[in-house]
Chains A and B, each alone.
Chain A
């Protein structure tokens, strides 16, 4: 079931390259560079150096005893990507791509960001490697994630607020692509999730697979077997594909948790695989949230990082192949899990990761104590404290 490196960029019928012709030479150049360096000893050595010495890998696999006790079933392990430099798994990918950009002699780096975590991780990689970073971020997201805007500026990258469309992640991607079309020769587009035209989905997956690779080694040490289940949140799906991919041929059940927003029936959600249909956006064929005319829907989630109407094409493939089960957790459950993990384990999770926590707690209850679940805690939640505050005060008001 592992697809390796698909030459045509296809995961079954999904993926591919639906892009303006101006970008074709750019993605071909990128693919050539990636194929040249991905197994290059010097490149791997340098990436390993930055991942360990700069980003803080490997990350611990932590047995959440209190949470396990609270759920009263299977053991819950947390893969602590939140402990990485910058506070999220995003740096695994930005370091890899920034090192590649350097080898391609591209000095100007552009990126999109939703919650701001990828923007911050890009800004860090650019700063560390002497590149110039510019980050597109939906205006709505700059407002709800002010801290990350400030961090990106501090780290020396320029933030461009995007006021087009829905002013969230998808519009930030549109604007980044427009910039790339305009400055195609000088600029490297450092895409933050396992989405977009080939080779991005496969390349981002490969850089993020360090998560699943470590989980496998750590679980064999801790439990003498691969995990019974793994759970990860899915927006574009980079932490999830990085978690799943190395475990695809193991005897492990896999669960991808999407943002259910105010509920699937409400229409206000971002659960692309649960509630979407096939279509073409941002260079790929994948599941999308769209209306019957093919217009992309407005999405909603309390977490900016999951607020995206598409999903990585390999997830679409894994859904249809029934290898991964995709489900949704709504805003309320995610906020509850945010509070729960903070209180019981002293770990403030990102709202994105809180979706996975909520799902894992539900699952653990119905599993025997002898089994174990690994949850990828993709990021830390300092950035979300204000948003959770707003959510709680709004919902208390509504109840009155």
Chain B
């Protein structure tokens, strides 16, 4: 079993849904990221996604782009990322998922990169530009290191392909809720509800479904959970809050925001 699988099993037994929170490693500083992670844990986040910045984040909207840009300017790299993960691991057993782009792994070598981050305490990987069609070497390296691989699906992904993608995923499956990049704040349309229901039907309970991109407040979280998602994924909203909060208040502010989102996932 993996930390992610255990987490979902535990939540199921409590009849709960998951809050998955994204923060960018090193934004606006390494210390602030750690404060934010503490807040997330206290606030009841179930899984944390740690973003590793990439120079050309083509699936991300302005908020994550900017956070990544600042983290890179301050020198975030694999070595520093590992130090941060190890620090976090000393404090918590929460599942940690690394989200970045394919080239970061490719340039270090899939196998080497995956075994290194696994040893530091990373449980899963999300690469928005890794298509299953190109994933053979990547999957092999992940499997060897018992690393969960979370692929993404979209509202326009064909049913057959959802099946294929879910068969190659472990931990959970990531449904992109809207046509767009991360951080959009528009109202959800009918197609999002439809996509969630459709995906759930195809998955048949074999793997949890997380829904993200554009989920930024408790009201939206409630809507997504009501539509049938097993987890909500929130990123840009946390980054916006981190950016507008003074360092000493990050932990408490992030904590209370996380807790409001987590509450929204609990349906009566």
Q: Please list the residues of chain A having a beta carbon within 8 angstroms of any beta carbon in chain B.
A: 8, 16-22, 24-25, 164-165, 170-171, 174, 177-178, 181-185, 277-283, 285, 288, 290, 292-296
Contact = CB atoms under 8 A, between A and B. Distances in A.
A22 B58 contact: no
Interface in B50-100: 54-59, 61, 65, 69, 72, 77-78
Contacts of A18: 102, 129-131, 134
Interface of B: 54-59, 61, 65, 69, 72, 77-78, 101-108, 128-131, 133-134, 151-158, 161, 165, 176, 179-181
Contacts of A182: 179-181
Contacts of B131: 17-19, 21, 24
Contacts of B133: 8, 16-17
Contacts of B181: 178, 181-182
Nearest to A184: B179
A277 B107 CA distance: 9
Nearest to B178: A182
B58 A178 contact: yes
B107 A16 contact: no
A221 B223 CA distance: 71
Contacts of A178: 58-59, 61, 181
Contact of A25 (B65, B134, B156): B156
A170 B129 CA distance: 16
Closest A-B pairs by Cβ, 4 of them = A294-B107, A22-B154, A182-B180, A294-B104
Contacts of A22: 154-156, 176, 179
A296 B255 CA distance: 35
Nearest to B54: A295
A20 B128 contact: yes
Given A293-B77, A294-B54, A294-B108, 14 more contacts: A8-B133, A16-B133, A16-B134, A17-B134, A21-B152, A21-B154, A22-B155, A181-B179, A184-B156, A280-B101, A280-B129, A290-B103, A290-B107, A296-B103
24 contacts: A8-B133, A16-B134, A17-B134, A18-B102, A18-B130, A18-B131, A18-B134, A20-B154, A20-B176, A21-B151, A21-B152, A22-B155, A24-B154, A165-B69, A177-B58, A178-B58, A178-B61, A182-B179, A185-B179, A278-B106, A280-B102, A293-B77, A293-B107, A295-B55
B56 A19 contact: no
B179 A183 contact: yes
Contacts of B155: 22
A293 B58 contact: no
A296 B56 contact: yes
B154 A293 contact: no
A248 B180 CA distance: 41
Nearest to A295: B55
A171 B61 CA distance: 13
A292 B134 CA distance: 22
A289 to B, nearest CB: 11
A110 B99 CA distance: 28
A20 B108 contact: no
A170 B154 CA distance: 25
A301 B132 CA distance: 36
A15 B194 CA distance: 34
B57 to A, nearest CB: 8
Contact of A165 (B55, B161, B179): B55
A281 B56 contact: yes
A311 to B, nearest CB: 15
